[in-house]
Chain A
């Protein structure tokens, strides 16, 4: 009986964490913080997959979580490479300096 409420509240927790990460992505100007907030958003999506897999008792939730974690790891590796590139080029990690892609 209590467990049923727990699943619903796990989805709500995933929503809260996703929105916190979204607020971080929108507010921060430092590219490192933007990447950290993106990690939080991916983590919240993984929590939703885990909660759904737990609700139906199927292993597919954890398999999709594995795919999300792999995506997050690849994303953060490439993103941090881009951060280093940005820092070498502009000597700053301000993403507002990336406004010169004007063709």
Chain B
């Protein structure tokens, strides 16, 4: 009884931290602060995965989301080199009444999602699914998923390299319409 109580207490505490960190994250003006809250959100999600009996997913969450994806975001924020100017710009871009309609829409969607959960009777109890079962299943019947994931990551790598490649300072083959403010950003 006490173990179950501590378990549910951990779950709700971590869930509250995840929701709070996400709420703070989407309202920040500074990108680095939002990234710090995203790290907290990812770590609390990892704890929730562990509590739900999925230790492999918890480890992946920490390594990939709180590690690799965050490094990507930090690199891009560093390359964009947005300073105090951008914080003021963000504050100007986010008026309080701009939040009303999207919040109402998201709340309606949340009501529909929660109402749609209903009372599924046969989905009861937390089962531990360890790394061994996931690995056996992943490299057995779901080998195609591994291959598709490698294809997708390769395509993402090539696409990101091609898109973010630094071209010559004065690009020659561009369309005519937007060529006025084009060369300013190349030093950044």
Chain A residues near B (Cβ < 8 Å): 1-13, 15-24, 26-30, 32-33, 35-37, 39-40, 43, 46-47, 50-63, 65-67, 69-78, 80-85, 87-91, 93-94, 100
Q: Are B113 and A77 in contact (CB under 8 A)?
A: no
* B187 closest partner in A (C-beta): A88
Are A62 and B57 also in contact (CB < 8 A) when A20-B26, A81-B160 are? yes
Q: Are A53 and B109 in contact (CB under 8 A)?
A: no
Q: Are B15 and A9 in contact (CB under 8 A)?
A: yes
Contacts of A18 in B (CB 8 A): 109-110, 113
**Alpha-carbon distance between A18 and B61 when the two chains are bound, in angstroms:** 17
Q: Are B19 and A100 in contact (CB under 8 A)?
A: no
Q: Are A67 and B149 in contact (CB under 8 A)?
A: yes
27 contacts between A and B (CB under 8 A): A4-B124, A5-B8, A6-B51, A9-B15, A13-B48, A27-B99, A32-B77, A40-B41, A43-B42, A50-B52, A51-B52, A54-B52, A54-B54, A55-B123, A59-B134, A62-B54, A62-B57, A66-B60, A72-B69, A73-B156, A81-B160, A81-B162, A84-B163, A88-B186, A89-B181, A90-B178, A91-B184
Q: Are A20 and B152 in contact (CB under 8 A)?
A: no
Q: Are A56 and B73 in contact (CB under 8 A)?
A: no
Residues of B in contact (CB 8 Å), total 94
Q: Are A56 and B123 in contact (CB under 8 A)?
A: yes
* A86 closest partner in B (C-beta): B185
Q: Are B152 and A36 in contact (CB under 8 A)?
A: no
In the assembled complex, the CB of A15 is this many whole angstroms from the nearest CB of chain B, namely 4
**Alpha-carbon distance between A17 and B65 when the two chains are bound, in angstroms:** 15
Contacts of B152 in A (CB 8 A): 70-71, 74
**Alpha-carbon distance between A38 and B132 when the two chains are bound, in angstroms:** 31
Q: Are A87 and B145 in contact (CB under 8 A)?
A: no
**Alpha-carbon distance between A80 and B71 when the two chains are bound, in angstroms:** 12
In the assembled complex, the CB of B19 is this many whole angstroms from the nearest CB of chain A, namely 6
In the assembled complex, the CB of A100 is this many whole angstroms from the nearest CB of chain B, namely 6
Contacts of A26 in B (CB 8 A): 101-102, 105-106
**Alpha-carbon distance between A8 and B118 when the two chains are bound, in angstroms:** 9
Besides the contacts A12-B114, A56-B123, what 10 more A-B pairs have beta carbons closer than 8 Å? A30-B90, A37-B26, A39-B38, A50-B52, A54-B129, A61-B129, A73-B156, A77-B160, A91-B181, A91-B188
- The interface centre, meaning the residue of A23, A35, A60 with most chain B CB atoms within 10 A of its CB, is A23
In the assembled complex, the CB of A12 is this many whole angstroms from the nearest CB of chain B, namely 6
Q: Are B117 and A36 in contact (CB under 8 A)?
A: no
